[in-house]
Amino acid sequence: MIGFDYGTSNCAVGVMENGAPQLLALGEHGRYISSTLYAPSRDVIVNWLHKKLPLAEQPAFQSQRTRQLQKGQGALRELVLDGYPTELSFGQQALKDYLQEPDEGYYIKSPKSFLGATGLLPQQAELFEDIVAAMMSNIKTLTEARLGRSVNQTVIGRPINFQGLRGEESNRQAIEILTNAAKRVGFKDVEFQFEPVAAGFEYEASLSTETKVLVVDIGGGTTDCSMLLMGPKQAASHDRTADLLSHSGERVGGNDFDIAFALKGIMPSFGLDSMLKIGKPIPANSFWQAMSINNIHNQTEFYSAANARFLEQLVRDAEQPELLKRLLTVQKNKLSYRVVNAAEQSKIGLTDSTEQLVNLSDIDKGLSLNLDREGFAKACNRELSAITALMTDAIAQACCEPDVVFVTGGTAKSPVLNEFLRQQFQHTPIVIGDHFGSVTAGLTRWANKIYS
């Protein structure tokens, strides 16, 4: 049995050893695998997955994906003839493969962000299920290699809400995709636990008295808050329903901070806030679409042929055409992930320094920018306000104030976020957990409890 954090930014696996959860080192990835996948062609993902599935699963999968597998075979033949690799890559290697040739292949970051998207067509849902299954298959293989035995029971973390709109329908859709993918790759028993609750379980192991804990999990795709009654007595129970005092959650997380930082910090150098020759501002919609890497519709619109023609006209009409040419380069070479990744790496760098130099000379020769913490805080004002509303809502629902605030999630490493949280809870102790590992550890504890 394992605890499985299939996260928006990273994936991790935990097992119980000597009564305590341990996060596994998974091959060259270490304890955390970036939630990314790269395929030389989108059409070959289904073929790669088919080969990796347990033998018992292959016939049913083949009958369900006959057309896609045939299409993938054609794509594979073309790749071989052209001398391209045919394997998928994951984690940091996926990012490296994408950055080598951004306009070739198929790269996806944080597929979890899309699972609750409204209006998914059946073929889109099938594609995401196959992407998730491919990532889970890779992680399951690495886990079993590390442990030297098979694993077939898991507890997977889930946010309170996968999507803000049509909440319950989105949640149902996302859970169905995750369940189908997990069972397809060989997990026989699959359960889910709210990610902030799981993080709370890990913190609970350190408590000696009954405590009201507000867990604030600022993850890659969502921020989730849970007010929990915790302590030694509660930890012994298999039914924690009465201890879960309130929940709140919204799709605002590290990806949104990265996008906001890219939009406000980088896009002005690509023409955002500049002017047309007629004295009117440049339309901002294309900049937002370019950076919205977690929105299928926006990315489709940005990379459409119609938008390419629109941007070419903007270049002709702009007071500073050299800036708009950079946006056109992003469009023509599919560089949205490249720009948002630059903002993300700057955000991470600003954890230990107050300024970061961003080199974008691969987009335009000599282009480099200075980004700083103050600019990051201003860029993310909307996201910080949304987190404030979630924490306030969780406290109001619980009808009580927390004794302690337990904070986890990779985004919470930022000094800007730390200062923001301390301003919100000036008279309440704040405990900072393992930014990346608390959820996995809690999921592992819960798996051990329900499957033992």
How far apart (Å, rounded) are the C-alpha atoms in residues 21 and 444?
A: 6
Comparing CA positions, the residue from 420, 419, 421, 396 lying closest to residue 406 is 421
At 258-307, the pLDDT tens digits run 999 999 999 999 999 999 999 999 999 999 999 999 888 899 999 999 99
pLDDT band with cut points at 50, 70 and 90 for residue 435: confident
Q: What is the pLDDT of residue 49?
A: 97
Comparing CA positions, the residue from 224, 220, 204 lying closest to residue 212 is 204
At 367-406, the pLDDT tens digits run 999 999 999 999 999 999 999 999 999 999 999 999 999 9
Beta bridge partners, 224, equal 217, 249
pLDDT band with cut points at 50, 70 and 90 for residue 83: confident
Pair 249, 390: CB distance under 8 Å? yes
Q: Is the pLDDT of residue 165 over 60?
A: no
Q: What is the pLDDT of residue 50?
A: 97
Report the chain's mean pLDDT, rounded to a whole number: 93
Beginning with the edge strand found earlier in the chain, give each strand of the sheet holding 89-90 in spatial order. Answer: 89-90, 36-39, 106-109
Q: Is the pLDDT of residue 63 over 90?
A: yes
Q: Is the pLDDT of residue 163 over 90?
A: no
pTM of the complete model beyond 0.85: yes
Q: What is the pLDDT of residue 409?
A: 84
Q: What is the pLDDT of residue 413?
A: 82
Q: What is the pLDDT of residue 236?
A: 87
pLDDT band with cut points at 50, 70 and 90 for residue 76: very high
Domains of the chain (ranges; CATH) run 2-187 (3.30.420.40), 209-252+384-433 (3.30.420.40), 255-379 (no CATH)
* CA angle, 107 then 113 then 117, to 5°: 110
Q: What is the pLDDT of residue 48?
A: 97
Give Cα 448 to chain centroid, integer Å.
Answer: 26
At 212-252, the pLDDT tens digits run 999 999 988 889 999 999 999 998 888 888 999 999 988 89
